[in-house]
Amino acid sequence: MSNVLNNFLTENLNDLKSQGLYNEIDPVEGANGAKIQVRGSELINLSSNNYLGLATNPELKQIAKDAVDKYGVGAGAVRTINGTLDLHVKLEQKLAEFKGTEAAISYQSGFNCNMAAISAVMDKNDAILSDQLNHASIIDGCRLSKAKIIPFNHSDMEDLRAKAKQATESGLYNKVMVITDGVFSMDGDIAKLPEIVEIAKEFDLITYVDDAHGSGVTGKGKGTVKHFGLEKEIDFQIGTLSKAIGVVGGYVAGKKDLIDWLKVRSRPFLFSTALPPGDVAAITAAVQMIIDSTELHDKLWENGDYLKAGLSKLGFDIGASETPITPCIIGDEKLTQQFSKRLFEEGVYAKSIVFPTVPKGTGRVRNMPTASHTKEMLDDALAIYEKVGKELGVIN
């Protein structure tokens, strides 16, 4: 290793560790379910985005195995050569049905969706109005497009309207887009989509919603856009296939012309091998499950409400979450890391979330109950939270 690189890495890694900003990655020794095995210990898992428990669903596992037997372990090529299997076509038809749009396109990850879709439509002659708490993949997609990025205060509709007016009346931009998460994953609050749509209509803005943490969770499982009944008002609906869906990948849903454009101009679609057939088959079946029944969605919300009420009663600061996502906001980064470590030692796996994922001074443990948790598990977790919280002075 060069001396320059060695010095850079040593200095900066030591700096992160001294500030409590270095994240240790723990390999999970088995399936990522309501309970997990880490370092030989069985723990109640409150860190997973496996909202509906579908990542370990026996029926989906068998469907994936059957698809591998028929199609192999990989698609073999990019979609535009010969990597588009009939499985991919069926998946995208099902995703369009799921989101209430004319068409959909799948990608290898939700991150890829934002890198692909934003830069395929926006360029240096355009502007993007972006919520200050938008996900890192949105930020990177905006940067890649080279459009002017105009942040607006989180869920502040007055600020959005003022900046939309200024951008559109300036004459500097060919197109202006407004981008927001549907559900903000660190706080659990929901975007004010009706107000955003109203402003978009007033100023002819392109509307873009990344519903990674809303699909399967809000709108009886159909997502945040469906929750507000705005399927015909949102130009881009983005989602992941790795959270509530339980597998891997992402998608964009919208008008057929939009999807046709992305198929010929979005670089991750053009230059990355297609999703593997076993994954695609399992995803399609998982989406159908969510369409057919709200049972898992209802259980998720029941567990989320139960944990949220329990933590609030104990005196934890859980912010203003409107979804099952339940942060315990601690503030100090080192204390947050210590809190997470003690939870682990007592039997709960809940990772600390610190800068740069959240602003400095707002360190938290993000709790994510799923449809797979039992009340007994949640009661055990709450007892551990009470013990550790009082021990470290986080609660009285």
Residues 111, 73: Cα–Cα separation, whole Å: 23
φ/ψ region of 7 (left if φ > 0, alpha if ψ in -120 to 50, else beta) reads: alpha
**Which amino acid makes up residue 107?**
Y
Placement of tokens 């969510």 in the chain: 290
**Which amino acid makes up residue 370?**
T
Residues 118, 178: Cα–Cα separation, whole Å: 11
Strands 176-181 and 206-210, sheet pairing: parallel
The residues assigned a catalytic role are 185, 213, 243
Helix (H, G, I), strand (E, B) or coil at 355: coil
Residues 311, 389: Cα–Cα separation, whole Å: 10
Structure tokens at 182: 């549907």
DSSP label at residue 274: P
**Which amino acid makes up residue 272?**
S
Whether the Cβ atoms of residue 143 and residue 119 lie closer than 8 Å to each other = no
Helix (H, G, I), strand (E, B) or coil at 325: coil
Q: Please report how many Cα atoms fall inside a 13 Å half-sphere around the Cα of residue 284, on the Cβ side.
A: 20
Structure tokens at 273: 């091998």
Backbone angles phi, psi at 30, to 5 degrees: 140, -160
